[in-house]
Amino acid sequence: MKFKKEVHQRIPRLTQFKLDLPLPNLEIYIMLTTKKRLRITSHNVITLLLSFSLITFHSNAFAGLKEKTAEEYRAKGLLEQQKGNLNSALDHYTKAAALGLENPAVFNDMGILYEQIDFNSKAEQCYRKAIQTDKQYLPSYINLAYLYQKLGNPQQAFEYFKRRYELGDLGDPWTEQAKEELLKIRPEYIDWIVNREAQQFQQQLVEKAHREFYERVKRSSEHYQKGEDFFQKENYHQALKEFNQALALSPQDSKIIEARKKTILELSKIKIKEHSDLAIKMLNSGDSISAKYEIQKMLTAVPKEPMIISR
C-alpha cells in the first residue's frame, strides 16, 4: 500500500535562560561624576544587549541542530523501513518523534510498523496522532479505518472511511476506495453519496466556468492593450486585428467596442484621403473618367456601420 508523504517542519521552542546581573555598588555610584555615571550605564546596556544576542544565537543554533537531527532520524527510519528492518525503522522514528518532529508522515509510518508487528493499540495511537498533527493528512484516515475493520469494529471503521471520502477529491483512487468500503458497511448511504457527488460535480462545473470566464477576460484585456499600443503607433490595421480578437472574447465590453470604432474611422479617413488625392490627380491630368471612379471608391470607404464615438 502506497501512502503520500508530507513534510511539516516543527517550530522548536526556545530554551529559557536566567540572567543574574549584579546591581551597581551604591557608594561608588554616589561618588561618580555624571559623565562617568552615564558611561557605566551605557556599558551595562551594551553588555546586556550582547548577552541577549548570544542567548538568541545559541538558542537558534540548538533548535536548528535538534531539528536537523530529528530529520536525520526520520530519513534513516524510512530507509530501514524500505529494507524491511521494521524494528530498526521503528527505533529511528521513535527518536525523531522524541525530538519533537511533528510530521504526520512519521506517525503514520510508525502506525504501519506497529500494525505489522500486531501491536495494534500503538498503531491506533500513532494513526490518531498523525491526524491530530495534520487533519488534512489523508493516509492515516484510511489506515485507521482498515485497522478498526481488522479489529472487528465496523462502526468506527465506517466513520474513518467516511471522513477519508469526505476529505478527498472526486476521481482520486483512495477516495473511491474509501467510498466502496463505507458502502460495504452501510449500503443505505448510496443516496447520500449520489447527492453529494452531484453537488460536487455541479460545483466543479461552476468553478470551471468561472475559471474560463476569468481566463477569457484576461486574454481579452491583453488583446485590447496590444490594440491600444498599435493605435498609438498609428498601425491601425494591426490595432483592428487585436480589437477584433478582444471583442470575440468579451462581446459586451463597451471599452473595446469604442476602441474598435475609432480604429475603423481612422482607417476610413486614410482610405478616403488616398482616393481623394488620386481623383484630384486624375482630374489635373484630364482623366475625368478615372477621377469619377476614384470618387466612387471614396463612398465605398465610408463605414457601413454607425460610427458614433463617445467623447
CATH of the domain at 218: 1.25.40
pTM, 2 dp:
0.54
**Looking at the domain assignment, is residue 211 inside a domain?**
yes
- Residue-range definition of the domain harbouring residue 297: 204-301
**Looking at the domain assignment, is residue 27 inside a domain?**
no
% of the chain with per-residue pLDDT over 70: 75
Q: Do 158 and 185 form a contact (C-beta atoms < 8 A)?
A: yes
Number of domains in the chain: 1
Q: What is the pLDDT of residue 308?
A: 55
**Looking at the domain assignment, is residue 265 inside a domain?**
yes
pLDDT per residue as tens digits for the range 172-219: 999 999 999 999 999 999 999 999 999 988 888 888 888 988 899 999
In this predicted structure, the answer to whether residue 62 has a pLDDT above a threshold of 90 is no
Q: What is the pLDDT of residue 58?
A: 45
Site of grid cell 460536487: 200
**Looking at the domain assignment, is residue 219 inside a domain?**
yes
Q: Which residue has better confidence, 182 or 31?
A: 182
Best CA proximity match to 95, nearest among 116, 122, 75, 125: 75
**Looking at the domain assignment, is residue 264 inside a domain?**
yes
Q: What is the mean pLDDT of the chain?
A: 79
**Looking at the domain assignment, is residue 294 inside a domain?**
yes
**Looking at the domain assignment, is residue 26 inside a domain?**
no
Q: What is the pLDDT of residue 57?
A: 42
User: For the chain, what is the total number of helices (H) and then of strands (E)?
Assistant: 12, 0
The three cell numbers locating residue 92:
529511528
**Looking at the domain assignment, is residue 286 inside a domain?**
yes
Burial of 7 (0-12, 13-18, 19+ CB in 10 A): exposed
Backbone CA torsion sign across 240, 246, 249, 251:
negative
For residue 2, what pLDDT band results from cuts at 50, 70 and 90?
very low
